[in-house]
């Protein structure tokens, strides 16, 4: 194979030999060199275009700041490619998008933006090993934690932060039925049911037995006591005093349904957390024999 020789034709070469120097030596060498990566085969179209797979891009650790020949990039170089040989886990493709200063934009960013704009659908799993961000902060996933933030709505994975109004479906559920640990946390159905159900305290919840007393203590601290006093007057002393205070005492005559005079009434006084006093007032008839009472406190 002939080799390119920039010294040919030599000085003083006779004209009849110059064409041989140019055609048989240098032209052949140039054609062989150009044909390595271009459409330049003898007898072919000889367009000089790059053949498929022949174009090369920058492949280095640091971002290129100049052309290969050392001259400054110009706007005609936009679209040049650089493969970051040090990126992980895969070699990152970058495209030259600006020259003042020189700016290389990751090709993956452009690809994702194009796919989203074109409403593309992925047939398989899309793997993203770094942080994922749509329009800077509209939908973000932190690679290190998996925390997800949706602007105006929601943070998922480690934390779900909702800044707007989130609408959950009727069958939405919490991960467990544990009681909430803070006032602002959601309450599950079991916890709510547990708060509604009362826990029976001292005595039976029935005042029907003579001198009986029932007591119910609710989880929120409310206490209801009820019982029967079998005298026309006296003092009712609670089996267990209210811990803090009393809200009210109500009563009805024990035999109020037996046809006794309607002008009888019960007066309650000296009400305290441990007892109250009462008297059945009977202007025209014999006093009724006792009252049913209900006391509410906390």
**Shared-domain flag, residues 275 and 227:** yes
What does the block give as tokens for 103?
């700016």
When divided into structural domains, the chain yields a total of: 4
124 within some domain: no
* Distance, CA of 213 to CA of 208 (rounded, Å): 9
Q: Is the pLDDT of residue 198 over 80?
A: no
Is the backbone peptide bond immediately before 9 cis, with ω within 30 degrees of 0? yes
CB 269 within 8 Å of CB 278: yes
Q: Is the domain of 269 the same as that of 209?
A: yes
Q: Are 273 and 241 in contact (CB under 8 A)?
A: yes
β-strand partners of 269: 277
Does pLDDT of 43 surpass 80? no
φ, ψ dihedrals at 83, nearest 5°? -100, 120
Does the pLDDT value for residue 202 go beyond 50? no
Q: What is the pLDDT of residues 20-40, one digit of tens each?
A: 766 666 666 777 766 666 666
pLDDT value for 263: 59
| Residue 194 domain-assigned (yes or no) | no
Model confidence band, residue 210 (pLDDT cutoffs 50, 70, 90)? very low
β-pairing, 275-281 vs 265-269, is antiparallel
Higher pLDDT pick, 45 / 75: 75
Q: How far apart are CA 294 and CA 207, in angstroms?
A: 9
Tell me the two tokens of residue 174.
Answer: 């919490």
The reply to whether 109 and 148 lie within a common domain is no
**SS3 of residue 277 by DSSP:** strand
CATH number at residue 248: 2.60.40.3940
DSSP, res 156: B
Residue 3 lies in a domain: yes
Assess whether 49 and 65 both reside in one domain.
Answer: no
Q: Is the pLDDT of residue 201 over 50?
A: no
Give the per-residue pLDDT at 137.
Answer: 80
Can you read off the two tokens belonging to residue 89?
A: 């886990």
Contacts of 173 by beta carbon, 8 Å cutoff, 6+ apart:
188
Give 219-262 pLDDT, tens digit per residue.
778 899 988 888 888 999 998 899 999 999 988 766 544 444 55
In the predicted model, what is the mean pLDDT of residues 189-208? 60
Q: Which domain holds residue 105?
A: 58-115
Q: Taking residues 91-108, what's their average pLDDT?
A: 88
Helix (H, G, I), strand (E, B) or coil at 193: helix
Could you give the CA distance from residue 179 to residue 175 in angstroms, rounded to a whole number? 12
Same domain, residue pair 23 and 66? no
The 10s digit of each residue's pLDDT in 122-147 is 667 777 888 888 888 888 888 888 88
Task: Give, in order, the Cα–Cα distances in Å from 65 to each of 92, 100, 170.
Answer: 17, 11, 58
């Amino acid at each position: 194979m002939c080799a390119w020789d920039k010294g040919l034709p030599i000085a003083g070469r006779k004209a009849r030999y110059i064409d041989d120097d140019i055609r048989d030596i240098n032209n052949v060498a140039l054609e062989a060199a150009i044909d390595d990566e271009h459409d330049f085969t003898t007898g072919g179209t000889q367009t000089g275009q790059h053949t498929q797979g022949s174009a090369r891009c920058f492949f280095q650790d640091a971002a290129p700041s100049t052309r290969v020949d050392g001259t400054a990039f110009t706007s005609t170089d936009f679209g040049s490619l650089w493969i970051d040989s040090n990126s992980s886990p895969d070699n990152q493709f970058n495209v030259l998008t600006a020259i003042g200063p020189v700016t290389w934009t990751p090709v993956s960013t452009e690809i994702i933006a194009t796919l989203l704009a074109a409403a593309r659908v992925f047939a398989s799993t899309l793997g993203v090993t770094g942080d994922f961000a749509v329009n800077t902060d509209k939908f973000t996933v932190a690679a290190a934690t998996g925390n997800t933030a949706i602007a105006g709505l929601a943070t998922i994975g480690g934390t779900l932060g909702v800044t707007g109004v989130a609408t959950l479906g009727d069958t939405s559920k919490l991960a467990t039925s544990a009681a909430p640990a803070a006032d602002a946390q959601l309450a599950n159905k079991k916890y709510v049911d547990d708060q509604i159900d009362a826990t029976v305290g001292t005595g039976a919840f029935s005042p029907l037995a003579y001198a009986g007393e029932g007591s119910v203590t609710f989880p929120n601290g409310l206490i209801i006591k009820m019982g029967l006093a079998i005298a026309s007057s006296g003092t009712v002393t609670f089996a267990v005093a209210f811990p803090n205070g009393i809200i009210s005492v109500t009563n009805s005559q024990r035999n109020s349904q037996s046809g006794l005079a309607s002008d009888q009434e019960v007066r309650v006084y000296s009400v305290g957390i441990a007892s109250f006093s009462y008297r059945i007032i009977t202007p025209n008839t014999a006093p009724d024999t006792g009252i049913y009472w209900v006391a509410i406190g906390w």
